[in-house]
Structure 1
Amino acid sequence: MKSYTGGCLCGNIRFTAKGLPNNPHTCSCKMCQRHSGAFTQIWVEFERDNVIWDGPGGTPKMWRSSDYSSRSFCEKCGSTLGAIDDEPVIALVLGVFDSPNRKELRPQSHSYVSKKPKWWRVCVESST
């Protein structure tokens, strides 16, 4: 079974995600923009049971952001880590992975294209 590791800027929050990632995608919704401070956020989803919070800080802090999800972050350094949904899904942001260039983590779609600034170009290369 494949595994992926990552963590926050200060190393307080660390994770190991196992199995194949689901729905790697980018998003430009206003919530993602404000959560990340960037025009576009990159997300990779894993089943909740396949994500282990194994750093000294344990589970990240959470802020309830919608009816179905909470945004997660490190309480020490403030790093954005992802979103923990009420459903059995944890969506991690690609920037916190130790090896974000792995082929299976590459975004396959983009959400909320209409919310990106008109001058911002979203680039998704073909897989060929």
Structure 2
Amino acid sequence: MEKVVQTGGCLCGAVRFEVTGDGSNPHSCSCRNCQQHTGAPTVAWMEFARDQVRWTGTVGAPATYRSSDYSSRAFCAACGSSIGAIDDAPTVALLAGSFLILPRPPLRPNTTRLKIASRTGGWSPLPLLMRGLWFAAALTPRNEKSTPKRARAD
């Protein structure tokens, strides 16, 4: 049976990776470390055993920053792109956005970590969802016959 190989890397291409086989524990997270690491309100991750990941870019493995007592955040030192996290356990968690094509099977988080209850005025996905719905509705083509034309005020 052929092993599935998925590839990805950073924006400038200096950090590249290949992963062999399927990942595990797809999840999303909205903790403060993930927010500061990526600049996004929430991120999607896919975990791989360390021996499933091979660093193939010109710089080899990504640069790391020790972000907790069990993990280091991985990023490209040249362009600053977030790549993932390399845990002390033999786990490499890669950000979904760093793959050229989303991991197969499709990345569908099994769990979500939203830490909004502990912060006053914390992040909530509802305004973004509502904005997205409004934006999608604004871009939807309208049938000219069913849409009344506005009168011009001259």
Structure 1-normalised TM-score? 0.88
1:11 aligns with 2:17: no
Does the aligned pair in 2 maintain the 1:63–1:72 contact within 8 Å?
yes
Bigger-Rg structure (1/2)? 2
Alignment correspondent of 1:95: 97
Q: Name the structure where strand makes up a greater proportion of residues.
A: 1
Code of the aligned partner of 1:117: W
Deviations 1:62-120 (A, max 9, x none): 000000000000010000000000000000000010001643322222113536613x1
Code of the aligned partner of 1:64: R
Q: Write the mapping of 1:60-71 to structure 2, written as runs, cut at 5 A.
A: 60-71=62-73
- How large is the Cα RMSD of the aligned pairs? 1.8
Code of the aligned partner of 2:123: P
**Helix, strand or coil for the counterpart of 2:106?**
helix
Structure 1: tracts of 5 or more residues without a match: 124-128
Structure 2: tracts of 5 or more residues without a match: 130-154
Deviating beyond 2 angstroms after TM superposition, the runs of 4 or more aligned structure 1 residues are 101-106, 112-116
CA–CA separation in structure 1 for the residues paired with 2:36 and 2:115: 16
Alignment correspondent of 2:148: none
Change (3 A) 1:48 1:101: closer
**Helix, strand or coil for the counterpart of 1:103?**
coil
Does the aligned pair in 1 maintain the 2:6–2:103 contact within 8 Å?
no
Alignment correspondent of 1:117: 123
Range with greater deviation from structure 2 (65-74 or 93-102): 93-102
Does the aligned pair in 1 maintain the 2:22–2:104 contact within 8 Å?
no
Deviations 1:5-40 (A, max 9, x none): 000000000000111111111100011011010000
Alignment correspondent of 1:108: 110
**Helix, strand or coil for the counterpart of 1:104?**
coil
Structure 2-normalised TM-score? 0.74
Residue identity (%): 48
